Amino acid sequence: MQPVKVEISLPIPAAPVKRWCGSRYKVDRIQRSVHAMAYGFRRYRKKDLGGNEYIVRVLALIPSGYRIFVKRWQWATAELAWVDALIALNGNTFQPFLASGDEEWRAEVPA
């Protein structure tokens, strides 16, 4: 796999949204789409909040201005983190990976 440019979703902590869920408030974060270089794909069988689009985990080079939005457990190296990307926004990029049936693809990580 060669590194490719994808559109990833990052939560923005400064923009919480409160909604009533059952007997308490639930705080959600607004997602922002950011273009980044992807060095790996990983299957993640989960639907988004709308229940229609599927998500793929992407090992992406996070731009410096957005690194504070990534949680500690998502980081793989000092600059690469596993983040979510919607298949609907990156369909042509993910087609070979999804058709292969593999669980994970990795590219050479820059030194």
Choose the weakest-confidence range: 41-50, 52-61, 100-109. Answer: 41-50
Choose the weakest-confidence range: 11-25, 44-58, 73-87, 89-103. Answer: 44-58
Look at residue 41 and tell me if it is in a domain.
yes
Domain that residue 91 falls in: 4-104
Confidence tier at 81 by pLDDT (50, 70, 90):
very high
Task: Determine the average pLDDT of the residues in 80-84.
Answer: 93
Above 90 in pLDDT, residue 39? Answer: yes
Handedness of CA 36, 37, 39, 44 (dihedral sign): positive
Above 70 in pLDDT, residue 13? Answer: no
Q: What is the DSSP string of 3-65?
A: -EEEEEEEEEEEEEEEEEETTEEEEEEEEEEEEEEEEEEEEEEEE-TTSSSEEEEEEEE--GG
Q: How many domains does the chain have?
A: 1
Above 90 in pLDDT, residue 48? Answer: no
Count Cβ atoms within 10 A of the Cβ of residue 111 and give its class: 0-12 exposed, 13-18 middle, 19 or more buried. Answer: exposed
Look at residue 26 and tell me if it is in a domain.
yes
Look at residue 111 and tell me if it is in a domain.
no
